[in-house]
Structure 1
Amino acid sequence: MVDSTRFSGRVAVVTGGAAGIGLAIAQRIIAEGGKVAIWDRDPAAIETAKAGLGANAIGVALDVSDWPAVEAAAKTVADTFGQIDILVASAGITGPNTTTWTYPVEDWRKVIDINLNGVFYCDKAVVPYMLEKDYGRIVNIASIAGKEGNPNAPAYSASKAGVIGLTKSLGKELAKNKITVNCVTPAAVRTAIFDQMTQAHIDFMLSKIPMGRFGQIEEVAALVCWLASEECSFSTGGVFDVSGGRATY
Protein backbone atom coordinates (compact mmCIF):
# COMPACT_ATOMS: atom_id res chain seq x y z
CA MET A 1 0.00 0.00 0.00
CA VAL A 2 1.40 3.39 -1.00
CA ASP A 3 1.95 5.87 1.85
CA SER A 4 1.85 9.32 0.26
CA THR A 5 3.96 10.92 3.01
CA ARG A 6 6.54 8.23 3.80
CA PHE A 7 9.36 10.05 1.99
CA SER A 8 8.19 13.60 2.59
CA GLY A 9 11.25 15.87 2.83
CA ARG A 10 13.61 13.10 1.66
CA VAL A 11 15.91 13.07 -1.36
CA ALA A 12 16.87 9.80 -3.03
CA VAL A 13 19.44 8.82 -5.62
CA VAL A 14 18.46 5.78 -7.70
CA THR A 15 21.09 4.38 -10.03
CA GLY A 16 19.86 2.57 -13.11
CA GLY A 17 16.77 4.64 -12.42
CA ALA A 18 15.60 5.18 -15.99
CA ALA A 19 14.20 1.67 -16.49
CA GLY A 20 13.27 -1.62 -14.87
CA ILE A 21 13.58 -2.07 -11.12
CA GLY A 22 15.28 1.29 -10.66
CA LEU A 23 12.48 3.17 -12.36
CA ALA A 24 9.82 1.33 -10.33
CA ILE A 25 11.63 2.34 -7.15
CA ALA A 26 11.91 5.96 -8.28
CA GLN A 27 8.20 6.01 -9.13
CA ARG A 28 7.24 4.71 -5.71
CA ILE A 29 9.51 7.10 -3.81
CA ILE A 30 7.97 10.05 -5.65
CA ALA A 31 4.46 8.67 -5.13
CA GLU A 32 5.29 8.54 -1.42
CA GLY A 33 6.33 12.17 -1.24
CA GLY A 34 10.06 12.10 -1.98
CA LYS A 35 12.35 13.71 -4.54
CA VAL A 36 14.54 11.57 -6.77
CA ALA A 37 17.70 11.94 -8.80
CA ILE A 38 17.89 9.16 -11.35
CA TRP A 39 21.39 8.21 -12.49
CA ASP A 40 21.61 6.26 -15.71
CA ARG A 41 24.00 5.93 -18.66
CA ASP A 42 21.22 6.41 -21.26
CA PRO A 43 20.37 10.12 -21.65
CA ALA A 44 17.32 9.43 -23.83
CA ALA A 45 15.92 6.99 -21.28
CA ILE A 46 16.50 9.55 -18.52
CA GLU A 47 14.45 12.16 -20.37
CA THR A 48 11.62 9.68 -20.94
CA ALA A 49 11.66 8.64 -17.28
CA LYS A 50 11.73 12.25 -16.05
CA ALA A 51 8.68 13.08 -18.17
CA GLY A 52 6.75 10.37 -16.35
CA LEU A 53 8.13 11.15 -12.89
CA GLY A 54 7.29 14.84 -12.90
CA ALA A 55 8.76 17.92 -11.28
CA ASN A 56 10.24 16.12 -8.27
CA ALA A 57 12.78 14.24 -10.40
CA ILE A 58 16.09 15.21 -11.94
CA GLY A 59 18.36 13.08 -14.07
CA VAL A 60 22.14 12.72 -14.35
CA ALA A 61 23.68 10.80 -17.23
CA LEU A 62 26.78 8.91 -16.11
CA ASP A 63 28.58 5.60 -16.03
CA VAL A 64 28.68 4.35 -12.43
CA SER A 65 32.05 2.70 -13.09
CA ASP A 66 33.56 6.19 -13.56
CA TRP A 67 34.50 7.42 -10.06
CA PRO A 68 35.01 11.12 -10.94
CA ALA A 69 31.60 11.17 -12.67
CA VAL A 70 29.92 9.56 -9.65
CA GLU A 71 31.58 11.99 -7.24
CA ALA A 72 30.48 14.94 -9.39
CA ALA A 73 26.94 13.60 -9.68
CA ALA A 74 26.60 13.32 -5.90
CA LYS A 75 27.69 16.94 -5.56
CA THR A 76 25.15 17.97 -8.20
CA VAL A 77 22.33 16.29 -6.27
CA ALA A 78 23.41 17.78 -2.95
CA ASP A 79 23.75 21.24 -4.50
CA THR A 80 20.31 20.94 -6.14
CA PHE A 81 18.32 19.56 -3.22
CA GLY A 82 20.52 20.43 -0.23
CA GLN A 83 20.85 16.83 0.94
CA ILE A 84 21.06 13.16 0.00
CA ASP A 85 19.02 10.95 2.33
CA ILE A 86 18.67 7.74 0.34
CA LEU A 87 20.75 5.77 -2.15
CA VAL A 88 19.39 2.82 -4.07
CA ALA A 89 22.27 1.32 -6.07
CA SER A 90 20.42 -0.58 -8.78
CA ALA A 91 22.54 -0.16 -11.92
CA GLY A 92 23.92 -3.42 -13.27
CA ILE A 93 24.56 -5.69 -16.24
CA THR A 94 24.57 -9.47 -16.61
CA GLY A 95 27.50 -10.10 -18.92
CA PRO A 96 27.62 -13.13 -21.23
CA ASN A 97 26.44 -16.62 -20.26
CA THR A 98 29.37 -18.97 -20.57
CA THR A 99 31.65 -21.09 -18.41
CA THR A 100 34.35 -19.56 -16.25
CA TRP A 101 37.18 -21.01 -18.32
CA THR A 102 35.78 -19.58 -21.56
CA TYR A 103 34.62 -16.26 -20.06
CA PRO A 104 36.13 -13.27 -21.91
CA VAL A 105 38.46 -11.29 -19.67
CA GLU A 106 37.18 -7.97 -21.03
CA ASP A 107 33.59 -8.91 -20.15
CA TRP A 108 34.67 -10.00 -16.66
CA ARG A 109 36.25 -6.60 -16.04
CA LYS A 110 33.21 -4.75 -17.41
CA VAL A 111 30.76 -6.64 -15.19
CA ILE A 112 32.89 -6.18 -12.07
CA ASP A 113 33.43 -2.50 -12.90
CA ILE A 114 29.72 -1.75 -13.16
CA ASN A 115 28.15 -4.19 -10.71
CA LEU A 116 30.69 -4.06 -7.88
CA ASN A 117 33.02 -1.11 -8.35
CA GLY A 118 30.04 1.02 -9.36
CA VAL A 119 28.17 0.20 -6.15
CA PHE A 120 31.29 0.97 -4.12
CA TYR A 121 31.73 4.31 -5.89
CA CYS A 122 28.09 5.29 -5.32
CA ASP A 123 28.16 4.26 -1.66
CA LYS A 124 31.45 6.09 -1.14
CA ALA A 125 30.14 9.26 -2.81
CA VAL A 126 26.93 9.64 -0.80
CA VAL A 127 28.05 8.67 2.70
CA PRO A 128 29.73 12.02 3.48
CA TYR A 129 26.47 13.86 2.72
CA MET A 130 24.56 11.46 4.95
CA LEU A 131 27.08 11.87 7.77
CA GLU A 132 26.71 15.63 7.49
CA LYS A 133 22.97 15.32 8.20
CA ASP A 134 23.34 12.33 10.56
CA TYR A 135 20.78 10.35 8.59
CA GLY A 136 20.78 7.99 5.65
CA ARG A 137 19.44 4.84 4.05
CA ILE A 138 21.53 2.86 1.55
CA VAL A 139 20.03 -0.09 -0.32
CA ASN A 140 22.34 -1.99 -2.63
CA ILE A 141 20.73 -4.30 -5.17
CA ALA A 142 22.54 -7.65 -5.14
CA SER A 143 21.10 -10.95 -6.41
CA ILE A 144 20.34 -14.48 -5.33
CA ALA A 145 23.21 -15.36 -7.68
CA GLY A 146 25.53 -13.65 -5.22
CA LYS A 147 24.46 -16.11 -2.52
CA GLU A 148 24.22 -19.31 -4.52
CA GLY A 149 26.29 -18.73 -7.68
CA ASN A 150 24.66 -19.31 -11.06
CA PRO A 151 26.49 -21.55 -13.51
CA ASN A 152 27.56 -19.82 -16.71
CA ALA A 153 27.37 -16.44 -14.97
CA PRO A 154 30.65 -16.26 -13.03
CA ALA A 155 31.24 -12.51 -13.25
CA TYR A 156 27.65 -11.65 -12.39
CA SER A 157 27.61 -14.08 -9.45
CA ALA A 158 30.97 -12.87 -8.16
CA SER A 159 30.03 -9.20 -8.50
CA LYS A 160 26.80 -9.66 -6.58
CA ALA A 161 28.57 -11.67 -3.87
CA GLY A 162 30.90 -8.70 -3.59
CA VAL A 163 27.95 -6.35 -3.17
CA ILE A 164 26.71 -8.47 -0.26
CA GLY A 165 30.13 -8.32 1.40
CA LEU A 166 30.42 -4.57 0.82
CA THR A 167 26.97 -4.03 2.32
CA LYS A 168 27.85 -5.95 5.47
CA SER A 169 31.13 -4.09 5.87
CA LEU A 170 29.65 -0.61 5.35
CA GLY A 171 26.68 -1.41 7.57
CA LYS A 172 29.00 -2.21 10.46
CA GLU A 173 31.11 0.90 9.83
CA LEU A 174 28.04 3.15 10.04
CA ALA A 175 26.20 1.29 12.79
CA LYS A 176 26.82 4.04 15.36
CA ASN A 177 25.33 6.62 13.02
CA LYS A 178 21.72 7.01 11.93
CA ILE A 179 22.59 5.46 8.57
CA THR A 180 21.49 1.95 7.67
CA VAL A 181 22.99 -0.10 4.84
CA ASN A 182 21.20 -3.15 3.51
CA CYS A 183 20.98 -5.13 0.31
CA VAL A 184 18.26 -6.98 -1.54
CA THR A 185 18.83 -10.30 -3.29
CA PRO A 186 16.12 -10.81 -5.90
CA ALA A 187 15.70 -13.96 -7.88
CA ALA A 188 15.08 -13.33 -11.56
CA VAL A 189 12.78 -10.41 -12.33
CA ARG A 190 11.70 -10.03 -15.94
CA THR A 191 13.08 -6.71 -17.18
CA ALA A 192 15.06 -5.57 -20.21
CA ILE A 193 18.13 -7.15 -18.59
CA PHE A 194 16.78 -10.49 -19.84
CA ASP A 195 17.79 -9.33 -23.32
CA GLN A 196 21.41 -9.83 -22.21
CA MET A 197 20.83 -13.50 -21.31
CA THR A 198 20.45 -16.72 -23.25
CA GLN A 199 17.07 -18.45 -23.18
CA ALA A 200 18.72 -21.48 -21.57
CA HIS A 201 19.93 -19.31 -18.69
CA ILE A 202 16.49 -17.74 -18.27
CA ASP A 203 14.92 -21.20 -18.17
CA PHE A 204 17.50 -22.33 -15.60
CA MET A 205 16.68 -19.41 -13.31
CA LEU A 206 12.94 -20.05 -13.51
CA SER A 207 13.44 -23.74 -12.72
CA LYS A 208 15.05 -22.78 -9.40
CA ILE A 209 12.15 -20.66 -8.12
CA PRO A 210 9.66 -22.75 -6.06
CA MET A 211 6.82 -20.32 -6.77
CA GLY A 212 7.26 -21.15 -10.46
CA ARG A 213 7.27 -17.56 -11.68
CA PHE A 214 9.57 -14.59 -12.04
CA GLY A 215 9.42 -11.72 -9.60
CA GLN A 216 7.71 -8.45 -10.44
CA ILE A 217 9.46 -5.11 -10.28
CA GLU A 218 6.74 -3.75 -8.00
CA GLU A 219 7.47 -6.51 -5.48
CA VAL A 220 11.14 -5.56 -5.35
CA ALA A 221 10.26 -1.85 -5.12
CA ALA A 222 7.98 -2.48 -2.15
CA LEU A 223 10.77 -4.14 -0.16
CA VAL A 224 13.38 -1.58 -1.18
CA CYS A 225 11.15 1.31 -0.16
CA TRP A 226 10.70 -0.12 3.32
CA LEU A 227 14.47 -0.49 3.65
CA ALA A 228 14.84 3.10 2.43
CA SER A 229 12.35 4.45 4.95
CA GLU A 230 12.67 5.74 8.51
CA GLU A 231 10.86 2.59 9.70
CA CYS A 232 13.96 0.57 8.86
CA SER A 233 15.86 1.71 11.94
CA PHE A 234 17.30 -1.50 13.45
CA SER A 235 18.26 -3.48 10.35
CA THR A 236 21.70 -2.80 8.93
CA GLY A 237 24.26 -4.93 7.12
CA GLY A 238 21.31 -7.14 6.23
CA VAL A 239 20.52 -9.27 3.20
CA PHE A 240 16.83 -9.35 2.29
CA ASP A 241 15.54 -12.01 -0.09
CA VAL A 242 12.82 -11.52 -2.64
CA SER A 243 13.27 -14.84 -4.37
CA GLY A 244 9.99 -16.71 -4.57
CA GLY A 245 11.34 -19.30 -2.15
CA ARG A 246 14.64 -19.94 -3.93
CA ALA A 247 16.92 -18.66 -1.16
CA THR A 248 18.19 -21.40 1.13
CA TYR A 249 20.02 -19.16 3.62
Structure 2
Amino acid sequence: MSLDLSGKIAVVTGAASGIGEAVVRQLAQAGAQVLAADIDGNAAAALATALGPQVLPFAMDVSDPDAVRHMVRHCVERFGGLHLAVNNAGIGGASLETADYPLDEWHRVLGVNLHGVFYSMKYEIPAILATGGGAIVNMASILGSNGWAGSAAYVAAKHALVGMTKSAALEYSARGLRINAVGPGFIDTPMLDGMDRQAYAGLVALHPAGRLGTADEVAALTCFLLSEKASFITGSYHLVDGGFSAR
Protein backbone atom coordinates (compact mmCIF):
# COMPACT_ATOMS: atom_id res chain seq x y z
CA MET A 1 0.00 0.00 0.00
CA SER A 2 1.53 3.27 -1.10
CA LEU A 3 1.07 6.45 0.89
CA ASP A 4 1.11 9.98 -0.45
CA LEU A 5 2.20 12.48 2.18
CA SER A 6 3.22 15.20 -0.25
CA GLY A 7 2.86 18.62 1.31
CA LYS A 8 2.93 17.24 4.85
CA ILE A 9 5.49 18.31 7.44
CA ALA A 10 6.53 15.88 10.16
CA VAL A 11 8.76 15.74 13.19
CA VAL A 12 10.25 12.45 14.43
CA THR A 13 12.16 12.07 17.70
CA GLY A 14 14.71 9.33 18.24
CA ALA A 15 15.11 9.61 14.49
CA ALA A 16 18.70 8.59 13.87
CA SER A 17 18.51 4.81 14.27
CA GLY A 18 16.21 1.82 14.56
CA ILE A 19 12.48 2.45 14.34
CA GLY A 20 12.89 6.22 14.19
CA GLU A 21 15.22 6.03 11.21
CA ALA A 22 12.84 3.68 9.39
CA VAL A 23 9.96 6.10 10.03
CA VAL A 24 11.94 9.03 8.67
CA ARG A 25 12.88 7.07 5.55
CA GLN A 26 9.31 5.99 4.87
CA LEU A 27 7.88 9.46 5.50
CA ALA A 28 10.43 10.98 3.12
CA GLN A 29 9.70 8.30 0.52
CA ALA A 30 5.99 9.21 0.78
CA GLY A 31 6.81 12.84 0.05
CA ALA A 32 6.77 14.43 3.50
CA GLN A 33 9.26 16.96 4.77
CA VAL A 34 10.74 15.69 8.03
CA LEU A 35 12.57 17.21 10.98
CA ALA A 36 14.71 14.29 12.20
CA ALA A 37 15.49 14.94 15.87
CA ASP A 38 17.87 12.86 17.94
CA ILE A 39 20.21 13.24 20.89
CA ASP A 40 22.96 12.09 18.50
CA GLY A 41 23.17 15.12 16.27
CA ASN A 42 25.89 13.64 14.07
CA ALA A 43 23.81 10.57 13.29
CA ALA A 44 20.77 12.74 12.53
CA ALA A 45 22.88 14.87 10.20
CA ALA A 46 24.19 11.78 8.40
CA LEU A 47 20.63 10.54 7.87
CA ALA A 48 19.55 13.92 6.50
CA THR A 49 22.53 13.98 4.14
CA ALA A 50 21.61 10.52 2.87
CA LEU A 51 17.96 11.40 2.27
CA GLY A 52 18.29 14.90 0.88
CA PRO A 53 16.98 18.39 1.59
CA GLN A 54 13.47 17.30 2.54
CA VAL A 55 14.97 15.93 5.81
CA LEU A 56 16.33 18.41 8.32
CA PRO A 57 18.45 17.19 11.28
CA PHE A 58 18.05 18.52 14.78
CA ALA A 59 20.10 17.64 17.89
CA MET A 60 18.13 17.62 21.13
CA ASP A 61 17.27 15.75 24.34
CA VAL A 62 13.53 15.10 24.71
CA SER A 63 13.81 15.15 28.50
CA ASP A 64 14.55 18.90 28.26
CA PRO A 65 11.26 20.78 27.71
CA ASP A 66 13.01 23.88 26.40
CA ALA A 67 14.82 21.78 23.80
CA VAL A 68 11.52 20.22 22.72
CA ARG A 69 9.87 23.63 22.42
CA HIS A 70 12.77 24.83 20.31
CA MET A 71 12.56 21.70 18.12
CA VAL A 72 8.92 22.39 17.23
CA ARG A 73 9.58 26.09 16.68
CA HIS A 74 12.54 25.29 14.42
CA CYS A 75 10.41 22.90 12.36
CA VAL A 76 7.68 25.50 11.90
CA GLU A 77 10.18 28.22 11.02
CA ARG A 78 12.12 26.12 8.51
CA PHE A 79 9.30 24.16 6.86
CA GLY A 80 6.34 26.48 7.45
CA GLY A 81 4.19 24.41 9.78
CA LEU A 82 3.62 21.00 11.31
CA HIS A 83 1.08 18.29 10.41
CA LEU A 84 2.50 15.01 11.72
CA ALA A 85 4.60 13.85 14.67
CA VAL A 86 6.13 10.57 15.81
CA ASN A 87 7.30 10.65 19.42
CA ASN A 88 9.68 7.74 19.28
CA ALA A 89 12.69 8.65 21.46
CA GLY A 90 13.17 6.17 24.27
CA ILE A 91 15.68 4.35 26.45
CA GLY A 92 15.69 0.93 28.09
CA GLY A 93 17.01 1.58 31.58
CA ALA A 94 18.52 -0.68 34.21
CA SER A 95 17.31 -4.24 34.83
CA LEU A 96 16.71 -4.45 38.58
CA GLU A 97 13.93 -5.50 40.91
CA THR A 98 11.59 -2.73 41.97
CA ALA A 99 12.87 -2.28 45.54
CA ASP A 100 16.45 -2.11 44.23
CA TYR A 101 15.73 0.35 41.43
CA PRO A 102 17.88 3.49 41.89
CA LEU A 103 15.93 6.71 42.15
CA ASP A 104 18.12 8.51 39.65
CA GLU A 105 17.60 5.74 37.09
CA TRP A 106 13.84 5.79 37.68
CA HIS A 107 13.74 9.52 36.95
CA ARG A 108 16.06 9.17 33.94
CA VAL A 109 13.88 6.52 32.28
CA LEU A 110 10.63 8.37 32.93
CA GLY A 111 12.26 11.62 31.90
CA VAL A 112 12.82 10.32 28.37
CA ASN A 113 10.08 7.72 27.88
CA LEU A 114 7.16 9.55 29.49
CA HIS A 115 7.97 13.17 30.21
CA GLY A 116 9.65 13.51 26.82
CA VAL A 117 6.47 12.40 25.08
CA PHE A 118 4.38 14.79 27.17
CA TYR A 119 6.71 17.68 26.37
CA SER A 120 6.60 16.76 22.69
CA MET A 121 2.81 16.68 22.55
CA LYS A 122 2.56 19.87 24.60
CA TYR A 123 4.37 21.81 21.88
CA GLU A 124 3.41 19.75 18.82
CA ILE A 125 -0.34 19.95 19.42
CA PRO A 126 -0.71 23.75 19.10
CA ALA A 127 1.49 23.75 16.01
CA ILE A 128 -0.53 20.97 14.35
CA LEU A 129 -3.85 22.62 15.21
CA ALA A 130 -2.54 25.84 13.69
CA THR A 131 -2.18 24.06 10.31
CA GLY A 132 -5.73 22.70 10.48
CA GLY A 133 -5.06 19.30 12.05
CA GLY A 134 -3.05 16.16 11.47
CA ALA A 135 -1.88 13.14 13.42
CA ILE A 136 0.50 12.06 16.17
CA VAL A 137 1.85 8.57 16.89
CA ASN A 138 3.45 7.89 20.27
CA MET A 139 5.81 4.94 20.33
CA ALA A 140 4.85 2.67 23.21
CA SER A 141 5.77 -1.02 23.46
CA ILE A 142 4.24 -4.38 24.19
CA LEU A 143 5.22 -3.37 27.71
CA GLY A 144 2.52 -0.73 27.54
CA SER A 145 0.10 -3.57 28.25
CA ASN A 146 2.31 -6.31 29.72
CA GLY A 147 4.67 -6.50 32.65
CA TRP A 148 8.36 -7.40 32.53
CA ALA A 149 10.34 -8.33 35.63
CA GLY A 150 13.27 -6.01 36.27
CA SER A 151 11.88 -3.13 34.21
CA ALA A 152 9.57 -1.24 36.55
CA ALA A 153 10.50 2.20 35.20
CA TYR A 154 10.21 1.27 31.53
CA VAL A 155 6.93 -0.60 32.02
CA ALA A 156 5.46 2.22 34.10
CA ALA A 157 6.42 4.79 31.48
CA LYS A 158 4.96 2.82 28.57
CA HIS A 159 1.70 2.05 30.40
CA ALA A 160 1.36 5.74 31.24
CA LEU A 161 2.17 6.71 27.66
CA VAL A 162 -0.75 4.62 26.40
CA GLY A 163 -3.12 6.27 28.87
CA MET A 164 -1.84 9.73 28.03
CA THR A 165 -2.34 9.01 24.33
CA LYS A 166 -5.97 8.02 24.87
CA SER A 167 -6.68 11.10 26.99
CA ALA A 168 -5.13 13.45 24.43
CA ALA A 169 -7.07 11.77 21.62
CA LEU A 170 -10.33 12.45 23.44
CA GLU A 171 -9.36 16.09 23.85
CA TYR A 172 -8.36 16.86 20.27
CA SER A 173 -10.03 14.40 17.87
CA ALA A 174 -13.01 16.69 17.23
CA ARG A 175 -10.54 19.41 16.25
CA GLY A 176 -8.95 17.38 13.49
CA LEU A 177 -6.01 15.90 15.39
CA ARG A 178 -5.79 12.12 15.66
CA ILE A 179 -3.46 10.63 18.30
CA ASN A 180 -2.56 6.94 18.52
CA ALA A 181 0.07 4.70 20.09
CA VAL A 182 2.04 1.84 18.55
CA GLY A 183 3.30 -1.06 20.65
CA PRO A 184 6.22 -2.91 19.06
CA GLY A 185 7.31 -6.30 20.29
CA PHE A 186 11.04 -6.97 20.41
CA ILE A 187 12.45 -5.46 17.24
CA ASP A 188 15.76 -6.31 15.64
CA THR A 189 17.44 -2.92 15.97
CA PRO A 190 20.92 -1.70 17.02
CA MET A 191 19.68 -1.72 20.64
CA LEU A 192 20.12 -5.50 20.54
CA ASP A 193 23.69 -5.36 19.22
CA GLY A 194 25.99 -7.26 21.53
CA MET A 195 23.28 -9.55 22.93
CA ASP A 196 24.55 -13.12 23.22
CA ARG A 197 22.98 -15.77 20.99
CA GLN A 198 21.18 -17.59 23.81
CA ALA A 199 19.49 -14.42 25.06
CA TYR A 200 18.54 -13.48 21.50
CA ALA A 201 17.01 -16.91 20.92
CA GLY A 202 15.07 -16.49 24.14
CA LEU A 203 13.52 -13.28 22.86
CA VAL A 204 12.61 -14.93 19.56
CA ALA A 205 10.88 -17.76 21.43
CA LEU A 206 8.49 -15.29 23.05
CA HIS A 207 7.02 -14.39 19.65
CA PRO A 208 4.72 -16.97 18.03
CA ALA A 209 5.76 -15.61 14.63
CA GLY A 210 9.12 -17.28 15.28
CA ARG A 211 11.27 -14.19 14.78
CA LEU A 212 11.76 -10.64 15.95
CA GLY A 213 10.16 -7.76 14.11
CA THR A 214 11.88 -5.27 11.86
CA ALA A 215 11.99 -1.51 12.14
CA ASP A 216 10.41 -1.24 8.70
CA GLU A 217 7.39 -3.24 9.87
CA VAL A 218 6.81 -0.87 12.77
CA ALA A 219 7.39 2.15 10.55
CA ALA A 220 4.84 0.90 8.01
CA LEU A 221 2.07 0.84 10.61
CA THR A 222 3.21 4.16 12.05
CA CYS A 223 3.11 5.90 8.69
CA PHE A 224 -0.30 4.38 7.92
CA LEU A 225 -1.67 5.81 11.17
CA LEU A 226 -0.29 9.22 10.22
CA SER A 227 -1.96 9.11 6.83
CA GLU A 228 -5.51 9.94 5.80
CA LYS A 229 -6.04 6.23 5.13
CA ALA A 230 -6.41 5.98 8.94
CA SER A 231 -8.81 8.93 9.15
CA PHE A 232 -11.23 7.17 11.55
CA ILE A 233 -8.56 5.77 13.87
CA THR A 234 -7.76 7.72 17.02
CA GLY A 235 -7.17 6.98 20.70
CA SER A 236 -6.00 3.45 19.86
CA TYR A 237 -3.03 1.32 20.87
CA HIS A 238 -1.80 -0.86 18.01
CA LEU A 239 0.50 -3.84 18.59
CA VAL A 240 3.20 -4.94 16.15
CA ASP A 241 4.44 -7.92 18.12
CA GLY A 242 4.39 -11.17 16.17
CA GLY A 243 1.73 -12.58 18.49
CA PHE A 244 3.60 -11.85 21.75
CA SER A 245 0.53 -10.36 23.44
CA ALA A 246 -1.86 -13.04 22.19
CA ARG A 247 -0.44 -15.70 24.49
TM-score normalised by L of structure 1:
0.94
Name the counterpart of 2:40.
Answer: 42
Give, in whole Å, the separation in 2 of the partners of 1:78 and 1:137: 16
Aligned AA (2:58): V
Contact 1:41–1:61 (Cα < 8 Å) also in 2: yes
Q: Which residue among 226, 231, 237 is the counterpart of 1:239?
A: 237
Structure 1 vs Structure 2 CA RMSD: 1.7
Secondary structure of 1:84's partner? Answer: coil
Shift of 1:194: 2.3
* Percent pairwise identity: 37
**How far did 1:206 drift?**
2.9
Aligned match for 2:207, one of 209, 215, 219: 209
Partner of 2:188: 190
Deviation string, structure 1 residues 230-249 (Cα, Å, up to 9, x no partner): 12111111000101011249
Report if the CA contact (8 A) 1:94-1:197 is conserved: no
| SS of corresponding position for 2:175 | coil
Q: Quick check: 61-70 or 94-103, which moved more? A: 94-103
User: Structure 1 counterpart of 2:78, which letter?
Assistant: T
SS at match of 1:131: helix
Alignment of 1:60 with 2:58, yes or no, is: yes
Which ranges in structure 1 are unaligned for 5 or more consecutive residues?
none
Match of 1:71 in 2: 69
Please state whether the residue corresponding to 2:220 is helix, strand or coil.
helix
- Secondary structure, counterpart of 2:150 in structure 1: coil
**Which residue number corresponds to residue 115 of structure 2?**
117
Q: Which residue of 1 aligns with 2:220?
A: 222
Q: Are the counterparts in 2 of residues 144 and 185 from structure 1 also a CA contact under 8 Å?
A: yes
Looking at structure 2, the residues matched to 44 and 138 of structure 1 have their Cα atoms a distance apart, in angstroms, of 26
Counterpart for residue 143 of structure 1:
141
Q: How big is the shift at 1:205?
A: 3.7
Partner SS for 2:208: coil
Answering whether residue 173 of structure 2 is matched by residue 175 of structure 1, we say yes
Deviations 1:185-206 (A, max 9, x none): 0100011222597888755543
> What amino acid sits opposite 2:227 in the alignment?
S
Give the AA of the match of 2:218: V
Q: Match of 2:17?
A: 19
